[in-house]
């Protein structure tokens, strides 16, 4: 059996990113955290923390972190179902790690937390940002217990639920379009027109160009890791970008932004993936996700399963 004080220390190091931060979180000394990690490593015969910056768990360390979270969630479920009163020492709620793409966070997912905040939930949530095209890797690696992804098929041990379709529009300011596309949107013009990318993984621009222009091209891009900053950059004529319809449809209606080619959306179906181990405790949170998605995402492009 594991010593859960040791696992708690490991989980705190992962969450805080340092031994000092973990110590502050747990209310102990840094040496006490280090000693607990050392004892855990001796217990299992493997290194659980990479101690060179950035300090983070090894692969087995990540698995142990998710194990500790699962145990905490299941213990809390037992306590709540039996109307137990835990000691003040154990008052902190279990924290569940999830992955959500920034476009969802910036356009509709905060409705989930609003609904969550107004009920007496037993859990807190730690959100990491990852591109919806790649978030499935976080599930495969064991980094999180739930995620939003474009992948329909769940990884082993997870369930998948269709949420709706995120509609993106290739958009820019009217001034930008006049400057870079005076003769219309062509491949040659797109090669010279700077675009926006969220990160090196973001290829929505290339997907849109390929879908509507039939080719892949090289073009200049700004890396800007913020969905609201994407919209601002487009408004300011910095570049063109693939923006969520929820964030730009109003601006397009006002004439402050325009689609590069009218009525050429890029549609990305989204799915909610949740570990089967916590599907029951997270049922209310999952319901909030579904309700928010049904309210904000396009529900006409795919039949729910």
pLDDT confidence of residue 81: 72
pLDDT confidence of residue 304: 45
pTM of the model: 0.81
Domain chopping of the chain, boundaries: 1-86, 167-267
| Residue 299 Cα distances to 162, 225, 266, 270, 295, angstroms | 10, 27, 15, 11, 9
Measure the CA–CA gap between 189 and 186, rounded to whole angstroms: 5
Name, of 26-30, 123-127, 214-218, 224-228, the range with top average pLDDT: 224-228
CA-based nearest residue to 78, from 63, 90, 88? 90
For the chain, the residue count is 305
Q: Which two tokens stand for residue 22?
A: 């973990």
Residue 87 has pLDDT above 70, yes or no: no
Q: Is the dihedral of CA 141, 146, 150, 156 positive or negative?
A: positive
| CATH architecture, range 167-267 | 3-Layer(aba) Sandwich (3.40)
CA dihedral 12, 18, 23, 24 (to 10 degrees): -100
- For the segment 129-187, what is each residue's pLDDT rounded down to a tens digit? 999 999 999 999 888 999 999 999 999 999 999 999 999 999 999 999 999 999 999 99
Residue 85 has pLDDT above 50, yes or no: yes
Measure the CA–CA gap between 194 and 237, rounded to whole angstroms: 10
pLDDT confidence of residue 84: 72
Residue 90 has pLDDT above 60, yes or no: no
| CATH architecture, range 1-86 | Orthogonal Bundle (1.10)
- For the segment 183-214, what is each residue's pLDDT rounded down to a tens digit? 999 999 999 999 999 998 899 999 999 999 99
| Cβ density class 73-110: b for 16+ within 10 Å, e for less | beebbeeeeeeeeeeeeeeeebebbbbbbbbbbbbbbe
- Per DSSP, the chain holds a count of helices (H) and strands (E) of 13, 11
Where residue 281 falls among pLDDT bands split at 50, 70, 90? confident
1-86 against 167-267: fold identical? no
Residue 301 has pLDDT above 80, yes or no: no
CA-based nearest residue to 169, from 233, 260, 92, 83? 260
Q: Cα 277–280–283 angle (5° rounding)?
A: 125
pLDDT confidence of residue 86: 65
Mean pLDDT of 24-40: 92
161 vs 305 pLDDT, higher one: 161
């Amino acid at each position: 059996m594991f010593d859960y004080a040791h696992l708690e220390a490991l989980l705190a190091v992962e969450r805080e990113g340092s031994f000092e931060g973990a110590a502050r979180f747990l209310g102990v000394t840094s040496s006490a955290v280090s000693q607990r990690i050392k004892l855990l490593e001796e217990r299992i015969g493997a290194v659980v923390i990479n101690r060179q910056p950035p300090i983070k768990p090894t692969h087995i360390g990540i698995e142990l972190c998710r194990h500790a979270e699962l145990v905490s969630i299941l213990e809390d479920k037992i306590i709540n179902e039996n109307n137990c009163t835990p000691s003040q020492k154990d008052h902190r709620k279990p924290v569940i790690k999830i992955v959500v793409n920034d476009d969802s966070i910036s356009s509709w997912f905060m409705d989930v937390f609003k609904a969550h905040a107004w009920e007496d939930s037993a859990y807190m949530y730690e959100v990491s940002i990852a591109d919806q095209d790649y978030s499935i890797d976080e599930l495969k690696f064991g980094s999180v217990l739930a995620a939003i992804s474009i992948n329909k098929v769940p990884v082993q041990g997870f369930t998948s639920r269709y949420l709706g379709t995120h509609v993106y529009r290739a958009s820019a300011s009217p001034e930008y379009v006049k400057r870079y596309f005076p003769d219309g949107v062509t491949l040659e013009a797109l090669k010279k027109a700077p675009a926006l990318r969220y990160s090196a993984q973001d290829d929505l621009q290339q997907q849109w160009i390929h879908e509507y222009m039939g080719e892949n091209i090289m073009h200049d891009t700004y890396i800007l890791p913020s969905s609201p900053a994407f919209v601002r950059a487009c408004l300011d004529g910095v570049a063109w970008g693939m923006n969520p319809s929820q964030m730009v449809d109003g601006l397009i209606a006002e004439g402050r932004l325009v689609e590069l080619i009218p009525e050429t959306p890029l549609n990305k179906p989204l799915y909610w993936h949740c570990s089967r181990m916590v599907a029951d405790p997270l049922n209310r949170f999952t319901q909030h996700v579904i309700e928010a998605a049904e309210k904000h995402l396009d529900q006409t492009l795919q039949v729910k399963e």
